Structure 1
C-alpha cells in the first residue's frame, strides 16, 4: 500500500490577513531618513511574517495538513548589497524557533522553493555567488528553526542557454563550489521548458541529489513521454534521504495555456499518476501547486473521498488500496 500526503504552497485562501510575504522595497527603505529606524521596520515586517507563518501552521494542524512550503520571502531585503551589516537573524531567533517547534510537534514537513533567480548552473560568477548567498539564508532559517536542513530546498536545474549538455556540465562544475552543508539541503525538479526528467536524473544520479518529480512539467516538456520507465530511478535518488519521496502536482489551466497552473487539481489526472506508482513506495508527499492554495487541497480531498479505491486517513492523507 502507498500513503499519499497532500501539501500546499505558502499562502492560505481560507485565512484572512495572514500573508507571510509582506515586504518593503529598497526604495521605500531609503525614504526613511533614520537608517536604524528603517532597519527596525524591516525587522517588524519579518517578525509579522513569522507570526503569520505560525497562524498558517496552526491552520494546517487544525485541518490535518502535514506538508507545507514556506515562503522564501520571510525577510524583506535580506542579503541586499546595501544592508550587508544587518544581522537580521538575531531579532528573529525566538520566532523562528517557535515555527520549528510547532512544525516538529505536529509532525509537519516544511521546506522551501527559492525563487527563479537562484541559478546554480549560471555562467556568470556574480549570479552563482548571489545564488549561494540566498541558499545560505535558507539554510540559516532552517537551522534557527532547529529543523534538519537536509533535503528541504527545491531548485530547478537553471538556465538552458540553448545548449542542454553544456548547461548540465556547468551545473556539475559549479556544484563543486557550493558548500557541502548547502549541497545536502538541495533537491532538484524537472521543469516545463528547459530540463526534462532525463536531464535532471543525470544530475541527481551523478551528484547524489533527490529528484522531485513534477508530473505536470513532464507532460509539458519531455523527450520520452513514458515517465514510468524512469520511476524506479527517481525513487532510488531518495534512498539515502531521511524524508519520504516528494513530488509536485498541478494541472494545466487549459490546452492553450498548458504550462500555466490551474486554480484546482484535476483529480482524474492525479490518479492516473497514482495508479502507476501504487505500491512502489510506502509514502509519497505531494505538493499542490495550484492558484487556490489550501482550497485546492480541500477540493481535491472532497474528490478523493468519493472514490472507492482509497482509504481516508485524515484531512489531507489517504491510502491507495
Structure 2
C-alpha cells in the first residue's frame, strides 16, 4: 500500500504577519549612509524571516503536515557582490539554532526550490559561478538548521539557448565543474516550456540525480511523450540513490487559456487519477502542492479526499492510496 504525504510552499494563508521572505533591495541598502547600520538592518530582517519560518514549522506540526518548502529568500542580499564580507551565518546563529532544535524534536521533510536564475547549464562562466554560489548559500542554511543536505534543492535544467540537445550536453559538462557537496543537494524537475520528462530523465539517469516529476508541467510540455506513466518506473529508479522517499510536484492549471499558471487550489480529480496510476509502485511518496492558496489549498484537498473511497486518511496531510 502506498502512503502519500502532501506539503505546501513557503507561506501560510492562516498565519498573519508571518512572511519568511521580507526583503531589502540593494538600492535601499545603498541609500543608508552608515554601512554597519545598514548591515544590522539586513540582519534584523533575516532574523525576522527565520523567526517566521519557525512559526510556520510549528503551524505545520499543529496541523500534522510533514512536508514543507522553505523560502529561498530567508537572507536578503546574501551572496551579493557588494556584501561578500558579510558574516550573516554568524549573526543569525541563534534563530538558525532555534530551527535546528525544533526540527530535531519535530522532524519533517523540508527543502528548497532556488530561484530561476540558478542555471547549471549556462555557457557563461559568471552565471555558472553565481549559480554555484547561490546553491552554496542554500547548503550553508541547511547545515545551520541541522537539515541533512542530501537532495534538498529542486532545480530546473535551465535554458535551451536555441539548441536543446546542446544545452543538455552543456549541463553534463558543467556538472563536472560543480563541487560534490553541491551536487549532492540537487534534484531536477521537468519544466513547463522546454525540458520534458524524457529530457530530464536523460540527465538524471546519466548523472545520478533524483527526478522530481511535475505533473502539471508534463501536461503543459510533453512533446510526443503524453503518457507520463510509461516512464514512471524510470522516475522511481532515479530515487534509488537517495535516502529520501520519492517526491513530486502537483498543481492545477488556472484556466485553459492560462494553462501554465497555478490555480488557487488543487483539482482533487487530478490527484485521484494520478494516485490510481502510481499506487503500489512505491511505499511512500511526498507531494508538494504548488497552489496560490498555499496551506489553505492543502487543507481543502485533504477535505476533498476524505470521502473519496480511493483514499484513507492517516492524519491532517497523509493518506493511504487504496
Report the TM range for the smaller structure's normalisation: over 0.9
State how far apart, in whole Å, the 2-side matches of 1:307 and 1:239 are: 31
Q: CA RMSD in A?
A: 0.7
State how far apart, in whole Å, the 2-side matches of 1:13 and 1:287 are: 16
Q: Tell me, what secondary structure is at the counterpart of 1:237?
A: helix
State how far apart, in whole Å, the 2-side matches of 1:160 and 1:101 are: 42
- Mean Cα displacement is larger for which, 93-102 or 231-240? 93-102
Superposition deviation, residue 97 in structure 1 = 2.1
**Preserved CA contact (<8 Å) 1:103 1:109:** no
Instruction: Output the TM-score relative to the length of structure 1.
Output: 0.99
State how far apart, in whole Å, the 1-side matches of 2:196 and 2:150 are: 24
Matches within 5 A, 1:26-65: 26-65=26-65
Aligned positions, number = 321
Query: 2:233 maps to what in 1?
Result: 232
State how far apart, in whole Å, the 2-side matches of 1:58 and 1:41 are: 26
Q: Tell me, what secondary structure is at the counterpart of 2:158?
A: coil
Moved over 3 A (4+): none
Query: 1:90 maps to what in 2?
Result: 90
**Preserved CA contact (<8 Å) 1:203 1:209:** yes
**Preserved CA contact (<8 Å) 2:272 2:310:** no
Matches within 5 A, 1:100-249: 100-223=100-223, 224-249=225-250
Superposition deviation, residue 250 in structure 1 = 0.1
State how far apart, in whole Å, the 2-side matches of 1:247 and 1:241 are: 14
Query: 2:265 maps to what in 1?
Result: 264
Query: 2:80 maps to what in 1?
Result: 80
**Preserved CA contact (<8 Å) 1:66 1:106:** no
State how far apart, in whole Å, the 1-side matches of 2:162 and 2:97 are: 43
Query: 1:20 maps to what in 2?
Result: 20
Q: Which runs of 5+ in 2 are unaligned?
A: none
Query: 2:304 maps to what in 1?
Result: 303
Superposition deviation, residue 306 in structure 1 = 1.5
Q: Which runs of 5+ in 1 are unaligned?
A: none
